[in-house]
Homo-oligomer: A and B are copies of this chain.
Amino acid sequence: MKCRVCGEPAVISLKAYSTALCAPHFISFLEKRTLNTINKYRLIENGEKPIVAVSGGKDSLSVWFMLNKLGYAADGVYINLGIENYSDISFAKIEKMADLLMKKVYSFDIKRLSDKGIDGLAKILKRVPCSACGMIKRYVMNRVCIEYGYTTLVTGHNIDDEASALFGNVLYWKEEYLGKKNVVLEARHGHLSKKVKPFFLCSERDIAAYAILNNIDYIREECPFSVGAKTLIYKDMLNRLEQLSPGTKIQFVKGYLKSFIKNRQEDIKNTENFCSKCGYPTYGSICNMCRVLERLNIGEGHICFDEYDPSVLDTTERLMT
């Protein structure tokens, strides 16, 4: 297997594109592809100030790394879910990347809410951990943008994430999610930041290869709560279809964007209100997060961030850590 560009030994074959590439040409292929996605879908435009939601996994660390390499100066935001043997290791990887990029990280510790990790908090809230985590993440990630003046929240979602989530929504025709699901969600009303997914056409496998070839040190374990999630089953099915017909996942997601979003977006009525406490969009009068704060009997002040800023450490300190 030889690199299609230079003829040197290839390190990766890309079946969906019927090609194979060596390490430098694969890296530049994925970066060009991502840059094209950013431009074509207007994910990050002139004058925008992006921030990357980082988990410590390959996708978010790679998109953070790549954006900065491509000239988009992007800081990071992290939510520490208080999961033993997972959250602290994740943050260590994030700090390491922050040092490399010389970029700030805002982190929110979920224990600020109830002294418990996501598992314990979910029990208090009588939700499953993934549901509580999703709700809190959406709120907190948005909040950091609004409070610190970031216009655009970047996530590392890849084609496997997008295709499997879409698959689940289509399987049950979840209209409320189907119409909303997009690769760029515009900012609204000054209360909701723009959200974008520059990797939405890149596969999990390609991103893992990119991370490894760039020596990005990421946490390999999946979140312990995601094990057995339906999403993983959907991913497995889509991978089987992809093997039979390379390119299926991309066609599925692109076809959806082209056909469904085009036809439906005007139909989706904006029935949102704004939370009477914090101003965040909600379907009721008070948003879910403010309800949680009420339930825990704590104020909005508990939603605050620690800042990790490698640029203020002097060189000696940076080399020592």
Interface residues of A (CB under 8 A from B): 170-173, 175, 178, 230, 233, 237, 240-241, 244, 248, 251-252, 255-256, 258-260, 263-264, 267
Contacts and interface: CB of A to CB of B under 8 A. Distances in A.
A256 B175 CA distance: 10
B171 A259 contact: no
Given A263-B264, A267-B263, A241 B171 contact: yes
A172 B251 contact: yes
Contact of A255 (B173, B256, B267): B173
Given A171-B241, A233-B240, 16 more contacts: A170-B170, A170-B252, A172-B251, A172-B252, A172-B255, A173-B251, A173-B256, A173-B258, A173-B259, A173-B260, A175-B259, A233-B241, A237-B237, A237-B240, A237-B241, A263-B267
Q: Which of A240, A248, A255 has the most chain B CB atoms inside 10 A of its CB?
A: A255
Contacts of A233: 240-241, 244
Contacts of A170: 170, 252
Nearest to A230: B244
Contacts of A263: 264, 267
A31 to B, nearest CB: 28
27 contacts: A170-B170, A170-B252, A171-B241, A171-B248, A171-B251, A171-B252, A172-B251, A172-B252, A172-B255, A173-B251, A173-B252, A173-B255, A173-B256, A173-B258, A173-B259, A173-B260, A175-B259, A178-B259, A230-B244, A233-B240, A233-B241, A233-B244, A237-B237, A237-B240, A237-B241, A263-B264, A263-B267
A175 to B, nearest CB: 5
The 7 closest A-B pairs by CB, nearest first: A173-B255, A173-B259, A175-B259, A237-B237, A171-B252, A170-B170, A172-B251
Contacts of A241: 171, 233, 237
Nearest to A264: B263
A237 B243 CA distance: 14
